[in-house]
Structure 1
Amino acid sequence: MTRFRFFHAADIHLDSPLRGLSSLEGSAVARVRTATREALDTLVGLAIEEAVDFLIIAGDLYDGDWRDYKTGLFFAAQMGRLKKEGIPVYLLHGNHDAESQITRRLDLPDNVHVFGPRSAETFVLDELKVVLHGQSFLQRDVTDNLVPQYPPPVPGAFNIGVLHTGLGGMGGHANYAPCAIDDLTNKGYDYWALGHVHQASVLHENPHVVFPGNLQGRHAREVGAKGATLVTVEDGDIVELSMIPCDVVRWAVLSVPLADVERFGDVIDRIDDAVEAAIPTANGRLLACRIVLEGRTAIHDQLFASEDRMLAEARARALGLGDEVAWVEKVVISTQGEVDSETLAEREDAIGDLQRLLQEATMDKDLLVQIEDDIGKLVRQLPHEVRGNIDDGVLRAVVDGDFTALINEVSPYLSARLTAPEE
């Protein structure tokens, strides 16, 4: 009986810069900064512990061009650990890797086999009767379907296709190397090791089409367990497929209802309770969380006026739960005041004037054109990755060029700032 096992990983984004941390300090922040390295270290340790026969990395090992060689040297050292144990690695370069010039010049240990970018390439593992087919990205924006260029399956072998693809733009990811599920399932391969989409999913079985997700969540849009897929094959059939967590920081978005809250101190208590309740979901890892305050509350205006203080106190409470147990990344105010905007607009004072002005602004074509002239041109100069990774509602509206939505986003904030009591 022929039996083998392999790890399928992707989207490691080694040393990916984590936005918003440059001015912050503390052991929890340091853990978040080094999380992608620690996750790779964990993966390599698990590969050795599980004695897998090989490791596949299906693109975006790196995160664009490096500042120096330290990123590549760290990866080379990790691959050296696998070489010592006789574990080969099959690496495909994705869109982020294609940006890196250093990637092409760094020598890696000879157990690392890199798929070429000019055409699909095949590696053969004779003892296991396994063949791997794949093609790296030559440049970032690969808009062609690469699957037709992959060779036909090798008879009598377990055929694995390695591909970095948006698969039609799944999960809002850029649709690089676009293809359809039918393109993959009709190819005749036994397993498709995909990369690029950061949410783990098994899209088809027999043949298996698998995204392992990214190895480590990097922000609050990448919540839950992250890791790699461990595949066991016996006599040409996949008998077990498991997602193995490798993350060292686990992200979560925690909703905190404030409908019955009337004191600022109670808000901090609610945040504290939500964080503490979520800690077990991290399974011993650092819980990095974004807090979303929701509901109609009497202190809606006060929350906006005390935003910085609230974040500081929430972080202090999280630190009080223990060293590197939890960290609060951000507090998002999505509450509503007890008095709605229509009622405010009926007031005969400055607050009513402001509310009526904001309501009329969305229909003021001259104002919208002016906003477009002042802001739109600047936003269009932002790199694609920056524009694609914005989750703030105000900035999202600006990037999308939806200036009516922009006015609707800032209106509650302006009203709250004007009506909030002074601290």
Structure 2
Amino acid sequence: MGTFRFLHTADIHLDSPLRGLTGQEGSAAARIRSATREAFELLVGRAIAERVAFVVIAGDLYDGDWRDYRTGLFFAAQMGRLNAAGIPVFLLHGNHDAQSQITRRLELPDNVRVFGARSPETFRLEDIDVALHGQSFSQREIRDNLVPGYPEPVAGAFNIGVLHTGLGGMGGHENYAPCALAELTAKGYAYWALGHVHQFQILHRQPHVVFPGNLQGRHVRETGAKGAALVSVANGEVGEVAMIASEVVRWSLVPVAVDAAASVPEVLEAIRAGLEEAMADQAEGRLLACRVVLQGRAPMHGQLVGAEAYLLAEARAIALGLGAEQVWVERVKVATEPEVDARTLAARTDALGELHRMLAEASHDPDLLAQLGEDPGQMLLRLPHEVRIDAEADSALKAALEGDQRALISTVLPYLAARLTTEED
């Protein structure tokens, strides 16, 4: 066996709609919308520059059925670039781009080989003694363990298993094509190229079992560097697995302490400092998409609660002042606490204390819970789709849509207490 390198990627989710962009305009929003394509273009360029022997895509190339043929044409064009460079591509379909999920089809260049969905399939690269084994998903939900059906390793070859799997539900992902790490390491392959889990992880070495993570973070739950795995092989053994960052937009949670802020301008100055620090420490030349989280037992708590729309507008203005396509603020979340805690409020003997006790007890009132489910709950279900898919940005809306009336009350209670306390003061 010779010395070669290959690129292992997965969970590209081409043209996936990124959340939090409804109604947003400007160059930063436009770049975020095109981020999955731009990240993939950069990855293809990296593969050509590194002169890799081949590329493995371990599932979820697409996010689902194409809206039109442009998604497929874009991918075909990128495969054409690799074809011109003499780089073969081995493509496996996962849950998002399963055979049943993608109704449109386009002819791909000759360098692209797609693993079948009926049973595991093996492709050989005779010139470098490589055998790749894999099975695509036939439908979105594959609940069977596919590993036992994978063939025995090819004698004398560098064997790679390509698999889209939840591996027991890692990282909170659906446990599709479930299997155990011990099954993979016992198979006799030198490398397992996995997909589905969106965090870069080397789960085992010699043999190597690797999740490359997704190529481009799509929302604030996918923070930090994203990219693919560049794998070096020498004399039949993996020498190095390097994570190469390929995303063009990096998501970040930016905690901002405002417990010392005594006015709104001081809160905004703290937000500015937090964004500047995040840009310097995390962006690495990329557009940084941030969720700002205000924290601390703050004297400004009552004025901040319920003012998230205003704070978001101010934070976005601050971000624009840092330079074009440097920082974009997805949301400002007020997670502060009042200087006077809930127990102290509930102990008051005035009307405010009585209201606080009443609201605190409301979550145990079955009649009120039923009414909340029938009235606001049904109304919220009629909200436009684009509002409902972004419900996670609003904890009260999310609780109402999920029918969790106790959570709804517990979410609204701090807001009412803060507003009433502020008005009294």
Q: Report the TM-score when normalising by structure 1.
A: 0.93
Cα distance in 1 for residues equivalent to 2:200 and 2:181: 16
1:28 maps to which residue?
28
Deviation at 1:133, TM superposition (A): 0.6
Q: Partners in 1 of 2:189 and 2:332 — Cα distance?
A: 47
Q: Deviation digits for residues 328-381 of structure 1, max 9, x if unmatched?
A: 1110110011111222234455533431221111211233344445577887xx
What percentage of aligned pairs have identical amino acids? 63
Partner of 1:49: 49
1:288-332 deviations in whole A, cap 9, x for unaligned? 111000111111010124321111111111110111011111101
**1:65, 1:99 within 8 Å by CA — same for their partners in 2?**
no
Partners in 2 of 1:102 and 1:158 — Cα distance? 32
Deviations 1:128-157 (A, max 9, x none): 110111111111111111111111111111
Encode CA deviations 1:110-143: one digit per residue, 9 max, x unaligned: 1111111111111111111101111111111111
**Following the alignment from structure 2 to structure 1, what is the Cα–Cα distance between the partners of residues 401 and 183?**
34
Aligned partner of 1:143 in structure 2 is: 143
Tell me, what secondary structure is at the counterpart of 2:24?
coil
- In structure 2, the residue matched to 1:408 is 410
Q: Distance in 1 between matches of 2:97 and 2:248?
A: 23
Q: Which moved more, 1:149-158 or 1:350-359?
A: 350-359
Change (3 A) 1:191 1:267: same
1:19 and 2:15 equivalent? no
Please show how residues 272-421 of structure 1 align to structure 2 within 5 Å: 272-280=272-280, 281-373=282-374, 390=392, 392-394=394-396, 397=399, 402-421=404-423
Task: Give the unaligned 5+ runs of structure 1.
Answer: none
The one-letter code of the counterpart of 1:69 is Y
Determine the structure 1 residue equivalent to 2:185. 185
Contact 1:64–1:100 (8 Å) recurs in 2: no
CA distance in 2, matches of 1:282, 1:358: 43
Which residue of structure 1 lines up, in the alignment, with residue 94 of structure 2? 94
* Number of the residue aligned with 2:260: 260
How has the CA–CA distance of structure 1 residues 104 and 162 changed in structure 2, closer, same or farther, with 3 Å as cutoff?
farther
2-side partners of 1:65 and 1:366: how far apart?
44
Query: Secondary structure of 1:95's partner?
Result: coil
- The 5 A counterparts of 1:34-183 are 34-98=34-98, 102=102, 105-183=105-183
Amino acid at match of 2:72: G
Q: TM-score, normalised by structure 2?
A: 0.93
Cα distance in 2, alignment partners of residues 96 and 375 from structure 1: 33
- Check conservation: 2:331, 2:393, Cα contact below 8 A: no
1:198-230 deviations in Å (ceiling 9; x for gaps): 011000111110000000111111111100000
Q: How far is the alpha carbon of 1:65 from its aligned partner?
A: 1.2
SS at match of 1:344: helix
Number of equivalences: 419
- Tell me how far apart the structure 2 counterparts of residues 90 and 259 of structure 1 sit (CA, whole Å): 53
Tell me the CA shift for residue 106 of structure 1: 1.7
RMSD over aligned Cα atoms = 2.4
Which amino acid is 1:368 matched to? L
